[in-house]
Structure 1
Amino acid sequence: MKENHVVHVIDDDEAVRESLAFLLLAAGHTARTYPSADAFLGVLDDTDRGCVVTDVRMPGTDGLVLVDRLRNRSATLPVIVITGHADIPLAVRAIKAGAWNFIEKPFEDGMILNAVDAALQQEKLARAENATVGVIRDRISALTVRERQVLAGLLEGQANKVIARDLGISPRTIEIHRANLMMKMHASSLSDLVRMALLAND
């Protein structure tokens, strides 16, 4: 099997579900199928890593609403939307809402497999970034109030003497806070510090 990723196939057409699952299994993926978006959302909290392949038009929660709900729940699972030719405008809306890709029916096996491979790679990168953001936020939370004030000044592009004047302390004290700040944040340079702070605020 390819790593520990699961491809979640959602379609109200059983034949389509089983056909996609067979294709994915043959390519070395783990596949799970769901007859509706609601069935998938019901197990989402127990879902670890992977990606979603879903039809757009389904009874109950459609593919577009599914994309929106996954985004609102900050899920890292990329969504590949499968659409009939007449559903292109809806698929474009899904992309704008945060879907990773959309594929028109009928599609070649290689097209869906390439899309799944790309989506799984994206999910891996997103998980790594989320882990990085979590570490950075933990470091920021460990800063003192004064160090956060200095950080805020640096993010505004202010020089040490300007930050010192605004905070009513000496430039030398700012230098000490700045050195402590760099050490606690594990920043190798000012640009590195700014990059991390901006990433944590996204």
Structure 2
Amino acid sequence: MPSDSIVYVIDDDEGARHSLEFLLDCAGIRVRSFPSADAFLKSSPPLSDACVVTDVRMPGTGGIELVEELKRRGASIPVIVITGHADVPLAIQAMKSGAADFIEKPFDDEVMLAAIRSALSQQEEGEQADAARQEVLERMASLSRREREVMDGLVAGLANKAIAFDLEISPRTVEVYRANVMMKMQVKTLSELVRVVTVASLR
């Protein structure tokens, strides 16, 4: 878990907010709380290395609406929903909307901390994967149209001669484009090229 991680606690119950803040402080995790989802959205805090812990039922924007709004904004921050026993169907609905987890009240402190640490670790891995994907996409953007065509053929498993036939160029020319592709994509082997292009295409 990154040392600069932060948890945003969103709950209209002041006692519940302070209790969670105390728990996270004692665990050495940075925390910032908000009395409502609307206040959180209005504040627009940084979402990198962060996760949200929110009650499912609140005045104004509730937990499920918050999950859906963050998704609509393209934010990939994990959201843990706290729910009362009677609200479990709501929590399941929140999970279907994209929440990372839901925890029933009253919850065990260690269960909550484990869920938060798991969410923050997944957030970090997701951000690293996004950064790596973006880097590959930028390399792909540097390819000329013909280099991209040759790369597509290589990734599809075609031999140089087959690519040459499809593009109506000589196999020797394909070799030149292939060398350019490998250099611009910063890979040394065909298998590495296939791997990075496949990862970049995953969405």
Fold shared, TM-score > 0.5 on shorter chain: yes
Does the 8 A contact of 2:56 with 2:63 survive in 1? yes
Partner letter of residue 133 of structure 2? V
Structure 1 residues 59, 155: CA separation in 2 closer, same or farther (over 3 Å shift)?
Answer: farther
In 2, the alpha carbon distance for the partners of 1:95 and 1:3 equals: 27
Matches within 5 A, 1:27-42: 27-42=27-42
Q: Distance in 2 between matches of 1:156 and 1:40?
A: 46
Q: CA RMSD of the aligned region, Å?
A: 1.7
Q: Which residue of 2 aligns with 1:137?
A: 137
Tell me, in whole angstroms, the C-alpha distance in 2 between the residues paired with 1:198 and 1:69.
30
Matches within 5 A, 1:155-174: 155-174=155-174
1:41 CA drift (Å): 1.4
Question: Does 2:140 correspond to 1:178?
Answer: no
Q: Secondary structure at the match of 1:81?
A: strand
Of 67-76 and 126-135, more deviation after overlay is shown by 67-76
- Which residue of 1 is the match for residue 93 of structure 2? 93
Shift of 1:169: 0.8
Of 156-165 and 4-13, the range deviating more from structure 2: 156-165
Match of 2:7 in 1: 7
Q: Which amino acid aligns with 1:99?
A: A
Secondary structure of the residue aligned to 2:166 is: helix
Unpaired segments ≥5 residues, structure 2: none
Letter of the aligned partner of 2:40 in structure 1?
F
Change (3 A) 1:198 1:105: same
- Name the TM-score, length of structure 2 as normaliser: 0.90
Stretches (4+) displaced over 3 A: 45-48
Find the residue that maps to 2:146 and give its secondary structure.
Answer: helix
Alignment of 1:68-83 (within 5 A): 68-83=68-83
- Structure 2 CA distance for partners of 1:45 and 1:11, relative to 1, 3 Å: closer
Deviates more, 1:140-149 or 1:160-169: 160-169
2:47–2:75 CA contact under 8 A, matched in 1: no
Distance 2:32 2:60 in 1: 20
Distance 1:62 1:182 in 2: 50
Identity %: 52
Post-superposition offset of 1:46: 3.9
Deviation at 1:116, TM superposition (A): 0.9
Q: For the Cα contact (< 8 Å) 2:47–2:77, is it kept in 1?
A: no
**Number of corresponding residues:** 201
1:45 is displaced (CA, Å) by 5.3
1:44 to 1:157, Cα distance in 2 relative to 1, 3 A = farther
Question: In 2 relative to 1, CA 68–156 (structure 1 residues): closer, same or farther, beyond 3 Å?
Answer: farther
TM-score (norm. length: structure 1): 0.91
Aligned partner of 1:126 in structure 2 is 126
